[in-house]
Amino acid sequence: MDGKIALEEHWSVDETLQIAGQPVRTGARWEELCRLLVEFRAQRLDGMDANGIELAILGLNSPALQAILNPAEAADVARRANDILAAEIALTPNRFAGFAGLPMQDPEAAALELTRCVTELGFKGAMVNCFTQKDVPDSAVYYDLPEFRPFWATVAELDVPFYLHPRLTIPSRTTTYEGHRWLYSQAWDFGSETAIQALRLIGSGLFDEFPRLQVVLGHLGERIPFDMWRIDNLMEKTPVSYPAKKRVSEYMRQNFHLTTSGQFHDAPFQCALAEMGAARLMFSVDYPYEEMAPAAAWFDNTKLSDADRLRIGRTNAIELFKLDLA
């Protein structure tokens, strides 16, 4: 399928490449990722052309700004990174669009920077890693906390999507992985950490307060679609404190969108499709952490009606991100 839109596609600046907490930070693969994350023209565009991807929406790598401990420094790096991305987009505006990187260490600064990026730079929303550190390394600040409500009010007012992206759990909080270092990686920790943060947003009542908010999750929903029925079923049977007014599955289907990033396999895709519906799914690659060719080949050939393939591969993104594409 030609004309696909991909929207979990990563880039970086020097400051966010060198920061601690990278999923991969040594060896030949890290060196290659460093090269590809800062490359915008030849290899990235050639790959898009070869695989039927018309437009990529770019967001900073993980953990990026969310691992900068000093709030003022995070705000400064965010502004400079967003300006760099805007300049790159301006060179080929028909091929790239942008997600704002935000200094979530300071919710007010994050709201101001998002407003600037949307109203002045033309960005299509924000991509933020699923918690932020602040002041000290052993910290994890979550976005369902009350101090973030004014920030979410700004997101709702701007009417742009918020892409909740994974990052690794703080090392001191990984005791359940002891003796099994392989779990503390993109293979498991990425998805479980992000799923918990998405569920925290739901359970906090955020979407009751701001029912128009739209959040995007990659990797076909970080395993939540597989468990939605079970979560609802057990929540109804077990008396626990749950401030939100509706079932988890209702918020997922009304306030969340899922992308195929890094999940190029029929079984999880068909599960997400059955649970969420075609209107809530979108194509993505997760470049350069994943390769474009297998992502595109799988999507172009997986069992779908022509209408749903077009919708998931292109038109859902055009509608959600208000893209100026036919």
Catalytic residues: 286
Q: Please confirm whether the linkage preceding 63 is cis (ω < 30° from 0).
A: yes
Residue 218 tokens read as 């990659």
Cβ(112)–Cβ(151) below 8 Å = no
Nearest by Cα to 13 from 61, 45, 56, 58? 61
Which among 226, 319, 305, 301 has a CA at the least distance from the CA of 1?
301
DSSP-assigned letter for residue 252: H
Torsion of CA 175, 181, 185, 189, to 10 degrees: -30
Return the structure tokens found at 47. Answer: 């790959």
Tokens of 226: 């597989």
Q: Residue 253: left if φ>0, alpha if ψ -120 to 50, beta else—which one?
A: alpha
Q: How many C-alpha atoms does 200 have within 13 Å on its Cβ side?
A: 16
